Amino acid sequence: MKLYNHEAAPNPRRARIFIAEKGLEIETVNVDLMKGAQFKDDFRAVNPWCTVPALELDDGTTISEVQGIWRYLEAAHPEPPLLGVDAKDAGIVAMWENRVMLDGLQAVAEGFRNFVKGFKGHALPGPDGYEQIPELVERGRLRTENFFKMLDRRLGESEYIAGDSYTAADITAQVTVDFAGWIKMELPDELANAKRWHDTVNSRPSAKA
């Protein structure tokens, strides 16, 4: 298996942390997003959406989308479970993970991609070009602030985001909080529940993945 990766980018990190939590070692292939390698024909043949991560299986099948990669790896390597331990838990993990994605990761991305000059004409990932919308920078920052508060409220009632154990919802939230540093935003000190959780998840060995 091979993971098409870009070390600095948040979505491949969601896949790498998951892989590390499963105790797996998977060869990585760097796709240099800074040089536009995602748009070259050889990578389009791997993933026509021109994004990383993408997981190439030994039979040549490629699975892109973090959710797709997670689902495959969880089914192939069930321990430790990261997508829920039974039907109810799986629903709860998916619910929280998606909320974190929509309200957190996408909010930071909105603030980042509409601001950074390098994303001019390419404000959204993928093969089609979209212009930046400067007004979205402020909105992205406001949404990120609200996301931090939501995280803190949730972590005041539960040890981890989807319940008593660490799951994929924590992975997306952990990556999001660290990605927010790119727009110079961090968890404020007064959000003590979220800070406690962030210290805990970021001290797991997988956080270095």
Ligand X SMILES: N[C@@H](CCC(=O)N[C@@H](CS)C(=O)NCC(=O)O)C(=O)O
Using the rule CB under 6 A, is 206 a contact of ligand X?
no
Using the rule CB under 6 A, is 63 a contact of ligand X?
no
Using the rule CB under 6 A, is 33 a contact of ligand X?
yes
Using the rule CB under 6 A, is 38 a contact of ligand X?
yes
Q: In angstroms, give the least distance from the CB of 40 to ligand X.
A: 12
Could you tell me which stretch among 47-55, 144-152, 162-170, 194-202 binds ligand X (CB under 6 A)? 47-55
Among 29, 65, 139, 145, the residue binding ligand X under the rule CB under 6 A is 65
Q: In angstroms, give the least distance from the CB of 2 to ligand X.
A: 15
Q: In angstroms, give the least distance from the CB of 182 to ligand X.
A: 11
Q: Are 56 and 64 in contact (CB under 8 A)?
A: no
Per-position DSSP letters for 138-205, written without gaps between them: HHHHHHHHHHHHHHHHHHHH-SBTTBSS--HHHHHHHHHHHHHGGGT----TT-HHHHHHHHHHHTSG
Cα(85)–Cα(177) distance, rounded to whole angstroms? Answer: 25
Q: In angstroms, give the least distance from the CB of 22 to ligand X.
A: 18
- The site string for ligand X over 100-139 (x = CB under 6 A, - otherwise) reads -------------------------x--------------
Count the site residues for ligand X by CB under 6 A: 13
3 state SS of 115 = coil
- Phi, psi (deg, nearest 5) at residue 6: -140, 120
Nearest to 62 by CA among 123, 1, 130: 1
Cα(29)–Cα(24) distance, rounded to whole angstroms? Answer: 16
Using the rule CB under 6 A, is 183 a contact of ligand X?
no
Binding site for ligand X (CB under 6 A): 9-11, 33, 38, 50-53, 64-66, 125
